[in-house]
Each structure stands twice: as C-alpha cells, then as structure tokens.
Amino acid sequence: MVGSIEGMGHTLYSNGAIQKFNGLENKLDELRSLLGKADSDPLRIVGVGAGAWGSVFAALLQDNYGQYREKVQIRIWRRPGRAVDRATAEHLFEVINSREDVLRRLIRRCAYLKYVEARLGDRTLFADEILKDGFCLNMIDTPLCPLKVVTNLQEAVWDADIVVNGLPSTETHEVFEEISHYWKERITVPIIISLAKAGVPMENILYVGGPNIASEIYNKEHANARICGAEKWRKPLAKFLRQPHFIVWDNSDLVTHEVMGGLKNVYAIGAGMVAALTNESATSKSVYFAHCTSEMIFITHLLAEEPEKLAGPLLADTYVTLLKGRNAWYGQMLAKGELSLDMGDSISGKGMIQGVSAVEAFYKLLSQSSLNVLHPEEKKPVAPVELCPILKTLYKILISREQSSSQAILKALRDENLNDPRERIEIAQTHAFFKPSLLGQPRNDLRSICLTKT
C-alpha cells in the first residue's frame, strides 16, 4: 500500500502525489447531488468481483473517498471459500515482512499472527479473509488498503447506487443474472461501470478501460483510462474517478470500446509466445508487432464506423498489454511448457486469461459465411478471418488444437507467402468495411469478447 500522511487539508502520498481534501469532498458532493442522495443517505459503491483490476479499482476509491464515511460507503463482493495454498501463504508472509507500513498495520489490527500461522502451515487463509486486510489473491506483491468485503451477493448489491463489474467476462452473465433478481423491486436502477447488461437500461451502463496495469496504477504510476457510455453519467464519473496519477477521459462509443477492448488480449497471447520462443528477440517481436497491429487495424475498420477515433487508444492499450499483462505471460508460459492448455484459462495467482475466449469469439465473428472481402491476390471473396493469419494460427493452437505447439506462431510469421502488413492496412483504409450488424448480435455471442479488467 502506498503510504500517506494527512494534514493541513492534504494527503501526501509516499511518491509525492498530493490530493486536496476539499477537492475530493467537492467531487463526492457533486456526484451525490446528481444521484439525488439525501444528506443522511450515503452513496453506496460496490465492486463485484475481486480480481486484480476490480480490487485496485475499489482500493483507489477507498483511498480517495473512504475518509468521508457518512457520505460514501465502498465495499467489494467476492465469493467465499477460496483457500490460499501453502506456497502463496509463504510468499504473502514474505511480502508483509518486507513492508514496514504493512507490517505495522497488521499488528495494529491484531491480524499479523494468522499470517505467521499460515506460513507455518498451522492455519488455512481464505481469499475473502486476506482481501479485508488488503491482499488480492491475484496480485499478492501489491498490498492494497484494507477493504470492506461482503461475501453475500444480495447483501452487497441490493441497495447499491454504483456497481463496478470486476468479473471475468465468462462469469459476468451468470452473476448479473442473479443480481437482476435482487433489483426487481427497485424504483431506480443503479449505474453499472463495466460490461454487465443484466436488464439495466443501456444509458446506465459504462465501460472503463485503457492502457494500464492494475498494480502499477495502485503504486501511483501515471496512467490513463477511458470511460465510455451515456453523457449523463460518464462525464461526472470521469471527474469523480480522476486523480493526479490516474487521468480518466470520456467517450460516448460504448459498444465499440467494449468489444474492441478484447482484441489486445488476443494478440498479447501471441506476443508472449514469440518472446519466449525467440529468447526475447527484439527483431522477432517487432515483426510480430507489425503483423498483429495490421490485423487489428483491419478488424477495427470492419467493426467500427469511425475506426480512426479508436486507433490511437487501441494501439496504446495493445502496447502495454503486450509489454506486461497476464495474457502475454500466459503465452510465454505455454511456449515454455510451464503451462498446458488442459489447465484451462483460469490460472491460480493470475485469474482469468481473457484472451483465450476472445480468440474464439473473434475467429467465429470474422468467419461468418455472410461476410466476405476480396482477397488481394486470389481476387475472390473470402471470409475476413482469411486475411488474419495470426488470429487463425492462435485459434488453431488454443481452441481447435489443430496445431500442437506454440511454434506454429513462428511458422505463421516466417511464411514466405505472407503479405506485407502494409497491404492489409491499405485494404482496410481504402474499403468501406464497417458491418454494424456484427456488433448487433445477441449478447451471448459477444460475451466472451467483452473485456473486464481484472
């Protein structure tokens, strides 16, 4: 946890960042007023899902606004019963003892002894238990502030004003379908930040994403994010979430950002494979980057009405995800043989690897028989996926298992017949590809594409 000193109307963080108390309270009061909250009624913000990004998001809000207890309540829900294994407990103990501020905090809370016992194997810790002390199971090396944790979903959400979806895309539908039952008697619906539809009007759904790594954001590394959705809520929420080190922009294009946000995870897996298979060769990685970005630009022109508005943010998000992220890590581990596909796409200590389901979803989306583009050499109509050799190869490795080795990604890059990536970009820029019907499919078809940061 980043240490802070309070005094003279300011909070001074250990990295030198300063937040003014009155400025924070003013932002909180503005949002409360917009939501019509009475003076005696606190603003209730609930995080649903406690992966890395979901936990960091709740912790950032708690750090910023938790001091105003009468005006705002911040809590986070996660499922109970997830045990912390012995090796993780040992590592957690090392992290605690390496941080004097964390060590002192646990001693003051009379919570240190249980970590000693877990280190010795005399006690089992649980993920919801350590989250209350500020430790996310998917991000042990980055201690957070203590959080109010609720393990009963109905208790967590039934009276929430703002719900932050931090669930993996594969779990969002199931959990929010249950949540919708608890909201049937509500007069007003809450604001949803992220991707959960769950019967809530579209004007109340917002998506937050951007080029960032959760642990680095909490450690006050400068980051940008973008909140998309209806203007009524996105502009005041962008202001509410904004911090000196975490700049939040706003944009109206919810669907495009929601769906296209999954693209970076697709290609991050391949980037990890290439890095591992070539011993971090800068040349090989640059060749991969050229081809993967050209495919992303091509797909963006196919799915986005105004792709030029998305290109910069999409490439920025891709850059950081290829550099450092769980999907790139997953690709590396597969290529090194330290993970196998049979282990699934939910990995202990990392959480859900969204890129796996996104590979399948984009492949199927771009393989539809109703779609076609003109092949530049064969001069005949083909499905768009035929012009995306990296996406095709990743599908054959991860989903259909037609390719038994990650080496296939290198073979695809080194194909003598592979077109210059510039040609794919030219095709995209000189043809009107936008197919609005693609993004108008039933939500079930798109759920695995949609991204939640965890």
In tens, the pLDDT along 122-131 reads 999 999 999 9
Residues 217 and 339 in one domain: no
Contact 197, 443 (CB under 8 A): yes
Check residue 453 and give its pLDDT. Answer: 37
Residues 91 and 212 in one domain: no
In tens, the pLDDT along 392-448 reads 999 999 999 999 999 999 999 888 777 788 888 788 777 666 665 555 544 333 333
Domain of residue 110, residue span: 86-125
pLDDT band of residue 13 (cuts 50, 70, 90) is very low
Check residue 383 and give its pLDDT. Answer: 86
The Cα-based distances of 270 to 74, 80, 168, 201, 403 in angstroms read 38, 34, 20, 37, 14
Rounded mean pLDDT, 241-259: 76
Q: Is pLDDT of 134 > 80? A: yes
Q: Determine which one of 20, 27, 235, 264 is catalytic.
A: 264
Q: Is pLDDT of 201 > 60? A: no
Residues 339 and 261 in one domain: yes
Check residue 15 and give its pLDDT. Answer: 38
pLDDT band of residue 311 (cuts 50, 70, 90) is low
The Cα-based distances of 158 to 35, 45, 191 in angstroms read 17, 11, 13
pLDDT band of residue 14 (cuts 50, 70, 90) is very low
Higher-confidence position of 256 and 115: 115
Could you identify the residue written with the tokens 């249950």?
178
| Domain membership flag for residue 215 | yes
Specify the 3-state DSSP secondary structure of 372.
coil
Name the residue among 210, 156, 428, 203 with its Cα closest to residue 308: 428
Specify the 3-state DSSP secondary structure of 68.
coil
Check residue 84 and give its pLDDT. Answer: 95
Domain boundary among 224, 252, 280: 252
Check residue 254 and give its pLDDT. Answer: 63
Q: Which of the 8 DSSP states describes residue 251? A: E
Mean pLDDT across the chain = 83
Name the residue among 213, 192, 214, 319 with its Cα closest to residue 258: 192
The Cα-based distances of 65 to 29, 69, 135, 221 in angstroms read 11, 8, 19, 20
148 is catalytic: no
| Domain membership flag for residue 451 | no
In tens, the pLDDT along 156-171 reads 999 999 999 988 767 8
Residues 90 and 61 in one domain: no
Tell how strand 246-251 and strand 191-193 pair up: unpaired
Specify the 3-state DSSP secondary structure of 275.
helix
Reading the block at residue 367, the tokens are: 């393989």
> How are strands ordered across the β-sheet holding 4-7?
4-7, 10-13, 18-20
Residues 232 and 371 in one domain: no
Write out the H or E segment, with its range, that includes residue 226.
Answer: strand 223-229
Check residue 167 and give its pLDDT. Answer: 86
| Domain membership flag for residue 138 | no
Domain CATH code at residue 351: 1.10.1040.10
Higher-confidence position of 249 and 190: 190
Domain boundary among 221, 252, 283: 252
Write out the H or E segment, with its range, that includes residue 77.
Answer: strand 72-77
Check residue 230 and give its pLDDT. Answer: 80
Check residue 430 and give its pLDDT. Answer: 72
Q: What is the CA radius of gyration of the chain?
A: 23
CA dihedral 108, 109, 113, 118 (to 10 degrees): -130
Higher-confidence position of 88 and 228: 88
In tens, the pLDDT along 33-81 reads 999 999 999 999 999 999 888 999 999 999 999 999 999 999 999 999 9
Q: Which residues contact 420 (CB under 8 A, 6 or more apart)?
A: none
In tens, the pLDDT along 326-348 reads 899 999 999 999 999 999 888 87
Q: Count the neighbouring beta carbons within 10 Å of the beta carbon of residue 237.
A: 21
Q: For residues 86 and 103, give the distance between their C-alpha atoms in angstroms, rounded to a whole number.
A: 20
